[in-house]
Structure 1
Amino acid sequence: MKIRLFPLFAVLFFACKGTPTEIKQPEYPEKPNIVWIVCEDLSPEHLETYGGTGGKTPFLNALAAESVQYNQVFATAGVCAPSRAALITGAYQTSIGAMHMRTLAPSAAAGDAYPTGFKGYSTVLPEGMKTYPELLRMAGYYTSNNSKEDYQFKSPVTMWDESSPKAHYRNRPDPNQPFFAIFNFTISHESQVWVRANEELLVDPKDVKVPPVYPDDSITRHVLARFITNAMRMDMQVGEVIAQLKEDGLYENTIIFFYSDHGDGMPYYKRELYDRGLRAPLLIKAPFLDGGTQSEELISFVDFAPTLLSLAGIPIPESMQGQAFLGSQKAENPRKYSFAARDRMDSEYDRVRAVSDGRFKYIRNYMPEKPNYQNVQYRLQNPLMVHLLDLNKKGLLDKNQARWFAKSKPDEELYDTKSDPWEFNNLAGNPEYSGKLTELRKAHEDWIAKYGDMGALNEMEMVRNWWGGKDGAPTTEPAQVKFENGKVTLSSATSSASIAYRKSKNVGWKVYVGPFEGNPGDSLYVNAHRIGFEPSEIALILK
């Protein structure tokens, strides 16, 4: 397999100790290969390179030694689907109506529970918005996703060349075609605590670190040991991907991202807007980065998509609200604030917003009459959740642990996450911090004014507005086909529809980017799909 070489100007750098340096890159003559290795529900501290909680993660240690380790990376939600919506679009989930967990039809088998009257839906993306995989495909990339999606909408066939448990960059028909490949590992997901309850532990419960949000007892230690064991097994899976890249002669010149889809998956972590629910690990290895260094640059998940396009030499569309932190389109100024949101979690509604400057965290509770704790049925499968509820009922939790179950919460919260990393001490009423409170409150309000916040709307009314007042999603208008002078031109009357085509049902869909050659008698299959609408598909013979 051909090794993809970067031009000399793309790999030269000058570095100061402990500070990653990246040159201002022009567009690559050849598109770089890019791999995203994604785990689930994992805070940085579980990795040894970020400090560790008792487990061993040697493969990620090795990757970190050749990567920039980012220490201030925050998801836009403390739960997967809204967070993944922001990742795939480069836009805040609250600005596009993708903030509720989750939007697609409920699955009883998965333990999903929804509010009375809920009707499953795909988020209707704003006019002109395209996801980054489609933009990559339009630029000539082979895109593979192995294999979780969970973007709050049904994916159009234009998004991925392949998205399945067998998807792999090795499957591309031309070994010289540049690729973007995702490998998503679910073993660290919260559900695996109970799914793998009877499997062997790789860490002794007595050796794990117990955070102050939990009582230090045998049940807590055993559940944490299970979670840490799962993280260790995820590390081994990362090692397998790295080994494949090396086997194929691609490792040295492939840009690699490793990250989690949000913060930790344990109770009082996941779904919350404290740093423990939002902060994610991020390691990036690239030929033009100074490996073994660390960065304190503030990064939001909405920055991932524009950064990816910047690295691939693809213009960043205006629909993306994040900013590139690497590549030829790197933003002139670093990010000043990160923003996050919590909305409906399965059956339970709440509306919480947060803004951080990397040290101070501001939280606005729009429903302060509700407790932070939500009775999410799915989470009750975790034995630690059941244990905490029992201890709280008996009055056996300390004040910081019991705070989660308080019957209400303040309108505003402010924390110094440097001196108070667990965000126990609310400074909102402290006059010494009134200036910071005012600053971050304004940043929050300016963010809503700039991007909007659809979390303020009634969910089903929002959906009915998308559907034109009807009970179901509109159907994308079928593609119109024009065949003249040996060229096929495709269009759809539905604004913002993506169009795909193929000449046989036995081949993959191609993204339509402009007229293509055809011959009389050719079969043609065309799929038109605006995200959030139902797709339409036609078949015809060219004449």
Structure 2
Amino acid sequence: MFRILLTAMCAVSFVPSSVWSADRPNILFIAVDDLRPELGCYGVKDVKTPNIDNFAARGLTFNRAYCQMAVCNPARVSLMTGLRPDSTKVWDLATRFRHTIPDVVTLPQQFMRHGYYAVSYGKIFHNPWPDNASWNEPHHWPKRSSLWSAEAKQRHAAYKEKMRADGRPENVINRIRPQATEVVDIPDGQHIDGAIAEQAIAAMKRLSEQEEPFFLAAGFVRPHLPFVVPRKYWELYDVNTIRTSPNPFLPKAAPGFAMNTMYELRDYLDFDRTPPPDQGSLTEVQQRRLKHGYYASVSFIDSLIGRLLSELEALDLADDTIVVLWGDHGWKLGEHNSWCKQTNYEIDARVPLILHVPGATANGRKTDALVELVDVYPTLCELAGLPVSDQLEGRSMAPLLSNPDQTWKQAAFSQFRRKHGRVPLMGYAMRTDRYRYIEWQDRRTHAVVATELCDHEADPLENTNVAGASGNETRLAQLSRQMWAALPTPPKYTPRKPPRPQVIFHNRGDVPLTLFWIKSDDEEQKTDVIQPGAQTRRTTTFGHRFRVRGPNGFSKTFEVTKQRQLFAIRPKPATPSTRKERRPNIVFCMADDWSWPHAGILGDPVVKTPNFDRIAREGVLFEHAFVSTPSCTPSRLSILSGQHHWRLREGDSLGGSLREDYDVYTEMLHEAGYRIGRFGKGVWPSKHTFRKRDSFGERFRSFDEFIKDRKPGEPFCYWHGGQDPHRPYELNVGAKSGIKLSQIKVPACLPDNETVRGDVADYLWEVQRFDREVGEIIEALEALGELDNTIIVVSGDNGMPFPRCKATLYDQGTRVPLAIRWGNEVQGNRSVSDFVGLCDLAPTFLESARLKPGKSMTGNSLLSVLNSKSSGQIDPARTFVLSGMERHVYSYPSRALRSKDFLYIRNFSPENWPTGEVEGHNPHYDFAKTPWPTGPGAFSFNIDPSPSKQYLRKQRTDPSVMAVAELSFGRRPKHELYDLRNDPDQLHNVADDPKYMRTRDALQRKLAAELIKSDDPRVAVAGYTPRTVEGWAVRVSDVLLKTERKATLRALELLAAQLQTVADVLPKAALAEVKTVPIWLSPAYDGVRPTGEYHPGVDWLKGQGRHLELHRCVEFTNIPIFEREVQRMPMVVLHELAHAYHDQVLGFEHPQIKAAYDRAVKSGKYEAVRRSNGKTQRAYAITDHKEYFAESTEALFGINDFYPFKRSELQKHDPQMAELLTQIWNGNRKD
């Protein structure tokens, strides 16, 4: 065992490479932001940290550990690289270490290089730069988490408006954040740090099943400001008993520039006017509140660390895992009349550091040895038996694990940068056993401009600088020599570049304007929308150009020529000659959680929806309309942005937010002169982290309020976000309203009983209430005279909130009602069977307004379908639709392809994703009293709490209920396939039925190809960029695009031409099959002839060290000579696709093809063939039956480069093969 071996090792030496050769230790690496040693295990009784204290009791606690710079980015970079700040050249929050030392091998990289699997969650490096090169998996912040409450955000918005009214500068307003402290009533897991813990625990479970050891990093943000944590941690402390700092004054005789300014605290609205330490103090109430918040935050993180360590024990990993817990720097809590960090003093430089190595002699001990965070890198390497680079500037602490009392380092070092007037300074600090010595140097000349000396024997709180005291001259000189004997000479000073120029654009007109940055290639990149009367500020570069566009063709270009410029823009008002033909209004009525077919016109026998029915009768009813994902936030963002939710990064899950990079139809219409606004639920839930707004527009209390200030003739785009039929429901309101329970058609996935019927009746009642809202809008449009010039869309964002409905990829989750009316422009009373996605609506609206779709939009406009005047199938290409899930309340990533006859679902590693069941918690609710419970277990299995769910859950073991309960609560397999011809309710998974294997494989291939084309991250391959070429999914190597760009672009042109030819010659059904085969353009492999090849087997790919995703794909590695290859082999792409068709559709063991090959071999016709160069060779077709099929296919449909050269030759010399190929490619497989 790890424990026994380490004990033996400690007794001998610390060279553990041989010890770990059979079973190397895992590393659990826990970082905590702004954590000072204010912990029980460090002797502080005021703070409650039982989990960290228990951990310290099992490990070695370092009493005197120091960071290298008391601010996040430099401190973390030093630890993670093993280098001091002067070596990393990272002295601030803005510098990226990959820019200054790009080739450095970080601590996790070193472990990765030696067989470890390294992953990180939360804050390990500095926030914006997780450094994905250091990890085996890309770093992902939690997508669904909270911090401030909605009320705090409202106060924040109001405060910023007040700042504007007071004339505060815009850059100051932009920096201000909500309050520094808040008690929030949310579960731990909803908090950003709680979500980080859940990420790390999920990863730990997954990694525990892997063979290789892991390096798992979990970085918590609290107790960094803001101190916003759940209520129960605040309630651990009585604010009235919290003691204020014992030394609330500036250090005596210290240089003025030595202290921080507390700008970090002033960024929060409740401390906006806080003076710097040398000009004033916080009130006692403020001090206690901040200290209360800090303590509550520490206790919160302590509980999360306890969860991590408990999970390590539960997974039986504790005896095989080294655990290190560290804080990146200290934090002042009123000491020296200051708060925050960013000084060279003990209170900021000293950090907690606890190391647990199973079996170590020093476990449970403390050491007073002086150590530094820069020592962590070599320590962990030595403990794991990894080589320790000579470039590292720290010293391994491993020997202290066997003898914590031994003589160790003479000093620890830190530093901090300051500016005194125009003089750039660097303060170098050295902490010895007794003294803290600080030497402030002019960075330009290295001249010493000030010194500080604190004697810890007499002054442990560093209240007085005694550097100027008589008799200390010799000591100062000795300490200076000691410092510079240990540290390298400071680097040469490079002055900062002058500040970048700033420009302000002021819209002095009365219409919104759009600001674009003009790239070097003259392409425009949208950066902002400037509302009438508003300003926007940009930090830029001399020579950069911007363009402002507005309605009626307004366009003006500006160039940056000065350090500061103000551009005032006043577009001329439109004249009759510039006004465009009137464009339609757009009204979108969106129900919340409304499934097909719950409307009167859709055949539901109970629900009354006269207004939806009217829109359908007077417009177009879509029979097969599906959402991109059955979850509120991402479904709505998909509609807004006109593309599938999985392309939206942080917007792909419940509670997500949309980046500014994505065009949204509402704001594009706004820029084109539309009035936009919304009622009710827009994009929700969402923190709107990036856009800081709901892009459906400003919220109004009603349609009448929205329309009252409309200008004459101004087109409008209005979103009516109904909140029905989303739960909670008034219990039995449906039955009370007169809905007859006996007439309700209960979904087949639910038990048919009174409880469920009553629940469905309540749902239908809310559908009817939403329908009444639709009727009110229709009446308002009629009163305005705008009904016939308005596109009215009525639909739902996802399915009904019942088990196996919402948040699933079955029809009850993704299929929604959809009807569109547009007056006389669209012929009514039509029913269309085309498969459409709601992400098709954004380009539809834009096209109706004579605008092009946004560049990032992938949906396809429905205008041609609307204008067709026909019913049934209009567009022959609309025969399927895609949908997917990432995370609703719980993660369950999956994708689906729905066609007329089948639903195929691909669940990604379902064994790794809990369905949301809350172990050991089986709550019971009285829905009359608590219609919307939110406690633990309420949303288990990704299902909203309801009487139906509760009945299923409580009766789950009842034989009469067990089958339907399993449909809702059971873990899903990797593949699901439903034959809708025999199973329209999608209850019987036939994915493993041999009769359906061919269908399953075909749908799996098609789904995979479509996901590649859609740039789905779930199927992304690092180093390759997906493209769509003539309907094929093509992966293009990023290396090729960088190093062989011209040849690669030419190869893509030639590939497109080849694929056009394939599309022209192949029969329709066969073409559909080969279009599911992805094509890769890759660099040539070392020692392998560049070529084109189809990859049928995984084992061969493994053996060659190639991407396993190449399985059943075509790959071309001859890109630099592709043009010459195409000239030599005119049907080269068809050749490789023929291999794929042979394998995937026919089967390589197809008996008729093998028989034909055997006949060809016996005939001898292929043994000696004269080529065009006059040489006689054995035909390549006779190599084996696979090449025989591919070569003959080339001849049948085009020109082969070898015998048989063309169809007539094939028919003359091998007529049986010619006839067989004709039958096979036309769908008569005879297999």
Task: Check the 8 A contact 2:700/2:706 in 1, yes or no.
Answer: no
Which one has a bigger Cα radius of gyration?
2
Question: Which structure 2 segments of 5+ residues have no match?
Answer: 1-578, 868-873, 919-936, 1021-1231
Q: Tell me by how many angstroms 1:130 deviates.
A: 1.6
Tell me which residue corresponds to 2:881: 338
Tell me which residue corresponds to 2:972: 409
Tell me which residue corresponds to 2:423: none
Task: Check the 8 A contact 2:801/2:944 in 1, yes or no.
Answer: no
Cα distance, 1:201–1:374 mapped onto 2, change above 3 Å: farther
Task: Check the 8 A contact 1:313/1:328 in 2, yes or no.
Answer: no
How far apart, in 2, do the equivalents of 1:98 and 1:37 lie?
A: 26
Superposition pairs for residues 488-499 of structure 1, below 5 Å?
none
3-state SS, counterpart of residue 298 of structure 1: strand
Tell me which residue corresponds to 2:723: 186
Task: Check the 8 A contact 2:826/2:866 in 1, yes or no.
Answer: no
3-state SS, counterpart of residue 258 of structure 1: strand
Superposition pairs for residues 51-66 of structure 1, below 5 Å?
51-66=603-618
Which of the residues 681, 685, 699 maps onto 1:148?
681
Task: Check the 8 A contact 2:620/2:866 in 1, yes or no.
Answer: no
TM-score, L = length of structure 2: 0.32
Amino acid across the alignment from 1:35 = V
3-state SS, counterpart of residue 259 of structure 1: strand
How far apart, in 1, do the equivalents of 2:959 and 2:776 lie?
A: 46
How far apart, in 1, do the equivalents of 2:900 and 2:1016 lie?
A: 22
Tell me which residue corresponds to 2:938: 377
> Higher relative contact order by CA 8 Å / sep ≥ 6: 1 or 2?
1
Tell me which residue corresponds to 1:7: none
3-state SS, counterpart of residue 77 of structure 1: coil
Q: Tell me by how many angstroms 1:244 deviates.
A: 0.8
Tell me which residue corresponds to 1:112: none
Task: Check the 8 A contact 1:53/1:228 in 2, yes or no.
Answer: no
Superposition pairs for residues 86-97 of structure 1, below 5 Å?
86-97=638-649
Cα distance, 1:417–1:28 mapped onto 2, change above 3 Å: farther
Tell me which residue corresponds to 1:306: 843
Tell me which residue corresponds to 1:72: 624
Cα distance, 1:159–1:270 mapped onto 2, change above 3 Å: closer
Cα distance, 1:329–1:131 mapped onto 2, change above 3 Å: farther
How far apart, in 2, do the equivalents of 1:428 and 1:328 lie?
A: 34
What CA deviation, in whole Å up to 9, does each residue of 1:320-348 have, x standing for no partner?
011111159999864343111112222x2
Which of the residues 782, 789, 808 maps onto 1:246?
782
Which shifted more, 351-360 or 216-225? Answer: 351-360
2:591 is the counterpart of 1:39: yes
TM-score, L = length of structure 1: 0.69
Tell me which residue corresponds to 1:428: 991
Amino acid across the alignment from 2:669 = L
What CA deviation, in whole Å up to 9, does each residue of 1:263-285 have, x standing for no partner?
22222101000011000111111
Amino acid across the alignment from 1:296 = S
Task: Check the 8 A contact 1:310/1:328 in 2, yes or no.
Answer: no
How far apart, in 1, do the equivalents of 2:917 and 2:811 lie?
A: 18
How far apart, in 2, do the equivalents of 1:446 and 1:308 lie?
A: 28
Which of the residues 130, 143, 148 maps onto 2:663?
130
Cα distance, 1:206–1:411 mapped onto 2, change above 3 Å: same
Tell me which residue corresponds to 2:950: 386
Q: Tell me by how many angstroms 1:398 deviates.
A: 4.8
Tell me which residue corresponds to 2:765: 229
How far apart, in 2, do the equivalents of 1:76 and 1:92 lie?
A: 6
How far apart, in 2, do the equivalents of 1:165 and 1:444 lie?
A: 43
What CA deviation, in whole Å up to 9, does each residue of 1:477-513 have, x standing for no partner?
xxxxxxxxxxxxxxxxxxxxxxxxxxxxxxxxxxxxx
What CA deviation, in whole Å up to 9, does each residue of 1:143-180 have, x standing for no partner?
11113122645245694552233455413430310111
Tell me which residue corresponds to 1:366: 908
How far apart, in 2, do the equivalents of 1:50 and 1:299 lie?
A: 17
What CA deviation, in whole Å up to 9, does each residue of 1:205-240 have, x standing for no partner?
222112221222111111111111111121111111
Which shifted more, 138-147 or 431-440? Answer: 431-440
Amino acid across the alignment from 2:840 = D
Superposition pairs for residues 227-306 of structure 1, below 5 Å?
227-286=763-822, 287-306=824-843
Tell me which residue corresponds to 1:201: 737
Superposition pairs for residues 470-509 of structure 1, below 5 Å?
none
Cα distance, 1:350–1:185 mapped onto 2, change above 3 Å: same
Task: Check the 8 A contact 1:194/1:382 in 2, yes or no.
Answer: no
Q: Tell me by how many angstroms 1:28 deviates.
A: 7.7
Task: Check the 8 A contact 2:904/2:1004 in 1, yes or no.
Answer: yes
Tell me which residue corresponds to 2:749: 213
Tell me which residue corresponds to 1:325: 862
Structure number having the greater helix percentage:
2
How far apart, in 2, do the equivalents of 1:213 and 1:250 lie?
A: 43
Which of the residues 329, 350, 361 maps onto 2:892?
350
3-state SS, counterpart of residue 291 of structure 1: coil
Tell me which residue corresponds to 1:49: 601
What CA deviation, in whole Å up to 9, does each residue of 1:242-291 have, x standing for no partner?
11111111112221111111222222101000011000111111122221
Task: Check the 8 A contact 2:677/2:699 in 1, yes or no.
Answer: yes
Task: Check the 8 A contact 1:371/1:409 in 2, yes or no.
Answer: no
Q: Tell me by how many angstroms 1:309 deviates.
A: 0.7
Question: Which structure 1 segments of 5+ residues have no match?
Answer: 1-26, 105-121, 458-543
Which shifted more, 332-341 or 136-145? Answer: 332-341
How far apart, in 1, do the equivalents of 2:966 and 2:916 lie?
A: 10
2:978 is the counterpart of 1:443: no
Q: Tell me by how many angstroms 1:124 deviates.
A: 3.1
What CA deviation, in whole Å up to 9, does each residue of 1:39-64 have, x standing for no partner?
11111211011111522222222222
Q: Tell me by how many angstroms 1:300 deviates.
A: 0.9
Which shifted more, 54-63 or 133-142? Answer: 54-63
Q: Tell me by how many angstroms 1:381 deviates.
A: 3.3
Cα distance, 1:195–1:133 mapped onto 2, change above 3 Å: farther
Amino acid across the alignment from 1:447 = E
3-state SS, counterpart of residue 364 of structure 1: strand
How far apart, in 1, do the equivalents of 2:825 and 2:792 lie?
A: 12
How far apart, in 1, do the equivalents of 2:583 and 2:734 lie?
A: 46
Task: Check the 8 A contact 2:664/2:854 in 1, yes or no.
Answer: no
How far apart, in 1, do the equivalents of 2:803 and 2:602 lie?
A: 21
Cα distance, 1:441–1:198 mapped onto 2, change above 3 Å: closer
3-state SS, counterpart of residue 956 of structure 2: helix
How far apart, in 2, do the equivalents of 1:28 and 1:296 lie?
A: 34
What CA deviation, in whole Å up to 9, does each residue of 1:164-211 have, x standing for no partner?
33455413430310111111211211x132588699434122221122
How far apart, in 2, do the equivalents of 1:239 and 1:219 lie?
A: 31
Tell me which residue corresponds to 1:81: 633
Amino acid across the alignment from 1:147 = G
3-state SS, counterpart of residue 385 of structure 1: helix
Q: Percent identity?
A: 25
Cα distance, 1:419–1:342 mapped onto 2, change above 3 Å: same
How far apart, in 2, do the equivalents of 1:334 and 1:236 lie?
A: 36
RMSD: 2.9
Cα distance, 1:248–1:213 mapped onto 2, change above 3 Å: same
Segments of 4+ in structure 1 off by > 6 A?
A: 328-333
